[in-house]
Structure 1
């Protein structure tokens, strides 16, 4: 609800602060007094297009501030969240606009700088304008479906459509993913099969690279060591050295025998020396024989196939080459092989999964269309009731030749959504025999405003509006233009009925309308020339009677006019 409007230096308004209450507020005054300036000022705060001509002559800038008190669950807070603007749900919402004399404009929400477009978006959630020059909201067919849904109380059907839509969409996305997988499967299967065949042929083992590297190092060292051992045996002379030592031993034995036969003592002199020499040679023979055996044993320890090193190197190079080809570590080749096998198995099962997903998709589609059909039926029934209610409101508002209907047309499947499968539009035929068309077909601004009043009154009569606290301010600008008497009284009656559930501001020249107001403001001008200013007076009961009497009788207020005013106010 709008609770305050501050206006500074707008056209003929120098300074004005207005406090708004609930219900119906009537704004009256003589032609040219400046009633439209109030609406222009409010429009500035709500993001309307600005013109430097709105700045009062001689002032540097115009400033307009609109203050709203809103319930904590009002839709405007979601918009503030989206724009990243700070607020407190338990505090007033303040929209402010400044307009410099050079045409520059600035916008603020709760004293936070923002864009005029943001003000305009927020304003659309806070205020509806129906008047001679514009009707905001109803001409936009996108607003018609939510209005009809609220009127028809189709929340259960709407919830079912949204739920089945979500389920269908999820199934559809899963099936699409599996179809894409299947399309890629042929090429991927060929590649995976080739790689898996290569890995099967290679048959990598965990830890094999480390083992091969160690084997290659050992074999490389063994070749060199074996060469050195062979050289050592050559230097030993092999069997030749033992044969010569054996011959030397036998020769010494023969020499010892001859000296003993010649009478020499075996334990003294030459016999003893020859015996010692033979014993030394015998020991050397034994040691030489053992050394050759040890060298041969050492050589035997390095017994391996001649091409074993080459084979180890070829295997190691093959493993590392495959790892580079697949972009993995050699140690991961075995796991990669298992992954390829698992992927091939998964691809083989895609067809089965896709068939199940497509069955689920078809079931989801059928469930959604059944729910959407139920929602369509509820909307069409609600549309018939709304058309009947609006049609009943038209004759008293001098729109008896007009016909109204609610068009509920099917949408193409690709345009369906959680809100159902319908395009909803309010349509009117302004004269008998004319085809139905959108509300923009109403050429007269006054007729359009009265039609908006009829529609709003019908919606409100069925509780189709939002909660009272959420209802936007509804402005009707000279909705009674060109009508009087019973029609003006019908306008006032419907405005009063609408104001029971919403905050309504009406700019009127009709005493029948003004008399229905919960509050009455009079707009007037004072001063002359450069000092001419517009002001607003909040009228007491007595002052209201005088103002309505003036509206009835003109410049000279008669007792009869006052009596008629009292009668209107008491009606």
Structure 2
């Protein structure tokens, strides 16, 4: 669930922090107070398209931060491991997004910087927002197959995994076959080219890491003379007549005589003795070093010629000797494949036939499971629609079966493509009145009907979608009376298994709230700012009365508000 939301410098919001509880949280207030702006902020937090217009005037950036409590989610845990973010399966997730006046987005998950795409991927697993005009994947036909599969749950999981694994193997094998069956002339040209490249690399007799080793040797030879002079001079400064070691020995002998007179000088005598022998050993090491220094102009010319040869190969085959050798290995494998083309082609066609047959069988099995689950989904949706006073509405899961046959799958010259998720396309179809034809869900005309259809689907699918919080932004628009009451009950029903945040203008929905937040505007330092207040029972009665009557609140409307609250309490 969404535990806490902090918003700073976002639109007309200055700085607010809202704590949320489980169950149904209702947000009400006058139009323009900032209710939808709070939902917009959550939308930005989960990766929505940003805009500099969201940054409050006079501020450099807008900041939104959300604290989520997550259940033990295998899917979320796996995703966190893939993107390298620490995740405690029994703990919390913190999302943060900043939008600057330059239009830049800075996104963080649990304190780690991530891309906007990653924030969106994680965010949409935690929050599902349904607005008045955008119902996301529920109205997107290409997403209905995923909703049906989530509804099916464990009954389809194994078959779906098997199909997807076979599909990947089929596509890989088919791609290789396509490459082998290209135009004969193109294959011959390709073979000539890669044989030339292979031979060129082989003739160069490259050794792993040879380029870096040659550069190091060249550097030593380039500076060999200077290195010799410096080390030799250092040696001469220490060793020889009237040099450092000789004078150090003089000092050591003098202190030895003095220490024989005054024992207090013994430590100093020991120190200089140790120093003498250390310097003597150092001098011998310097001598050994400079005697080994090479300065060979001929070898330097050989190295420069070899480096030039390697650089020519790098321009063609890779940025390093190791990359060139890797390319050579790949080319060698391709040469073997093309030279033994007929044999490989015959072998891979047999392998493709086996995979295609398994894929087709598994695809049919997947379709059978989906059709059974579609019947179950239809029955549950119809029941929910009746509760929402849409008993004449007909709901159907439409299967558009693929025209691909098993022969098509085995024919590599066939341009038809098989679906990544199955042999069929699936879409939700509805007819809201008797006698009308079934139409795609997105083409239902009435806003009120769309709202009820969304709630019916959500009631069934909420437990299967795995999101932490559901947000409804005025999805009850265009309804009233008993339909409004039915919608209120349905939203409450969804909130039993999921945290629900709901912006509403319906008193029936507001009465169902476990937590009622009132959104208003106030003048702060001469500027308008949004304020959020949790309402007690008396304040809730006043607000629901306002929602019932509009401007004037009477004793009758207060009594009606109290009745709504009592009715909601008894229903819960």
TM-score, normalisation: structure 2: 0.62
Q: 1:61 to 1:446 in 2, by over 3 A?
A: farther
Written as runs of structure 1 = structure 2, the 5 A alignment for 1:11-410 is 11-71=11-71, 73=73, 75-76=75-76, 78-79=78-79, 84=83, 86-90=85-89, 92-100=92-100, 102=101, 104-110=103-109, 111-152=111-152, 153-162=155-164, 164-165=166-167, 358-397=349-388, 399-400=390-391, 402-410=393-401
Q: Kindly state the Cα deviation for residue 186 of structure 1 after the two structures are TM-superposed.
A: 11
Q: Kindly state the Cα deviation for residue 59 of structure 1 after the two structures are TM-superposed.
A: 3.6
Whole-angstrom distance in 2 between the partners of 1:186 and 1:528: 78
Q: 1:540 to 1:357 in 2, by over 3 A?
A: same
Whole-angstrom distance in 2 between the partners of 1:171 and 1:45: 42
Matching of residue 473 in structure 1 with residue 473 in structure 2: no
User: What is the Cα-based RMSD across aligned positions, in Å?
Assistant: 3.9
Q: Kindly state the Cα deviation for residue 131 of structure 1 after the two structures are TM-superposed.
A: 2.1
Contact kept, 8 Å, 1:44 with 1:50, in 2: the verdict is yes
More deviation, 22-31/346-355 = 346-355
1:525 alignment partner in structure 2: 521
2:269 alignment partner in structure 1: none
Deviations 1:515-556 (A, max 9, x none): 222322121233489343321122344543443344334433
Which of 475, 489, 507 aligns to 1:493? It is 489
Q: Kindly state the Cα deviation for residue 104 of structure 1 after the two structures are TM-superposed.
A: 2.8
More deviation, 154-163/40-49 = 154-163
Whole-angstrom distance in 1 between the partners of 2:53 and 2:346: 69
2:443 alignment partner in structure 1: 441
Q: Kindly state the Cα deviation for residue 376 of structure 1 after the two structures are TM-superposed.
A: 0.8
Q: 1:534 to 1:179 in 2, by over 3 A?
A: closer
Matching of residue 452 in structure 1 with residue 454 in structure 2: yes
Matching of residue 516 in structure 1 with residue 507 in structure 2: no
Number of residues paired by the alignment? 411
3-state DSSP of counterpart to 1:158: helix
Deviations 1:39-94 (A, max 9, x none): 12222222333444433344443221122233453545555555x45333355332
Deviations 1:1-34 (A, max 9, x none): 3221101122332221112223221112233332
2:554 alignment partner in structure 1: 556
Contact kept, 8 Å, 1:379 with 1:408, in 2: the verdict is no
Q: Kindly state the Cα deviation for residue 507 of structure 1 after the two structures are TM-superposed.
A: 0.8
Q: Kindly state the Cα deviation for residue 476 of structure 1 after the two structures are TM-superposed.
A: 0.9
Deviations 1:470-494 (A, max 9, x none): 4242111112212122211211221
1:341 alignment partner in structure 2: none
3-state DSSP of counterpart to 2:526: helix
2:226 alignment partner in structure 1: none
Whole-angstrom distance in 1 between the partners of 2:427 and 2:483: 27
Q: 1:126 to 1:412 in 2, by over 3 A?
A: farther
Which has the higher Rg, Structure 1 or Structure 2?
Answer: 1
1:484 alignment partner in structure 2: 480
TM-score, normalisation: structure 1: 0.62
Whole-angstrom distance in 2 between the partners of 1:524 and 1:358: 69
Deviations 1:432-487 (A, max 9, x none): 55544433213444433332111111234xx5x04xxx424211111221212221
Q: Which runs of 5+ in 2 are unaligned?
A: 191-335, 405-415
Whole-angstrom distance in 2 between the partners of 1:187 and 1:567: 82
Deviations 1:383-431 (A, max 9, x none): 2322232233234435455432212222354533563212122223445
Contact kept, 8 Å, 1:480 with 1:508, in 2: the verdict is yes
Contact kept, 8 Å, 2:99 with 2:106, in 1: the verdict is no
2:427 alignment partner in structure 1: 425
Deviations 1:101-154 (A, max 9, x none): x45332221344444444334333332222212212223333211211122332
3-state DSSP of counterpart to 1:138: helix
Whole-angstrom distance in 2 between the partners of 1:401 and 1:76: 40
